[in-house]
Amino acid sequence: TNKLVSFTNGSCTDNVMVTFASNMALICNDYSGHIGQSNNFNVLPNDPATLLSIVPGETHDPGTQTGKSGNISAQNAGVQFNINIYLTDDWFNLIDTVNHLIDVIPSDQFISQSQIQLSNGSFTFPFTFRTAGTQRIYFNDITNPSIKSDTSSSIPVYAGAYS
């Protein structure tokens, strides 16, 4: 984001809040042909804080307030699709140094609760709803219950083909 700052004798001291963990540089532009750039620096994720689920149609968008973007894709009952779960900091940056055990609780009454093991802070797993309607999946960190749980976005599930 752009921020207006004032320089005195060619120098400026100011605070910057960075929410996206990445390698980056600061750029200064006075819009009259003078541009300066800092050396690159690494912004690391903060402490593990919350789980984040990404369902079909969504994209992981770290550094943002929701951690995801996109529009949920409807699914058909009986048809498998993938779900991603991430352990993140408060700004949804992946914490890739942990392998927590996660409880997976579907709203679909015909699917049993299960557990998954994160690998490097994430896990992608196949999932199949059995019941048409609006469904969700609830995720709880068993290894560290102080990690904020997550509820997936509402997923429209249509009746599958009769077999």
pLDDT digits (tens, 9 = 90+) for 99-111: 999 999 999 999 9
Per-residue pLDDT tens over the stretch 114-153: 999 999 999 999 999 999 999 999 999 999 999 999 999 9
β-partners of residue 124 are 84
**pLDDT band at residue 32 using 50, 70 and 90 as cut-offs:** confident
pLDDT of residue 33: 83
Question: Could you tell me the pLDDT band of residue 13, with boundaries at 50, 70 and 90?
Answer: confident
Edge-to-edge strand list for the sheet holding 81-88: 50-54, 81-88, 122-127
Query: What burial class does residue 104 get, using C-beta atoms within 10 Å of its C-beta: 0-12 exposed, 13-18 middle, 19+ buried?
Result: buried
The CATH code for residues 50-158 is 2.60.40.1930
pLDDT of residue 121: 98
Position 8 scores a pLDDT of 87
Res 10: pLDDT? 79
Average pLDDT over residues 70-92: 98
Contact 94, 86 (CB under 8 A): yes
By three-state DSSP, how is residue 143 classified?
Answer: coil
- Residue 62 near residue 102, CB atoms below 8 Å: no
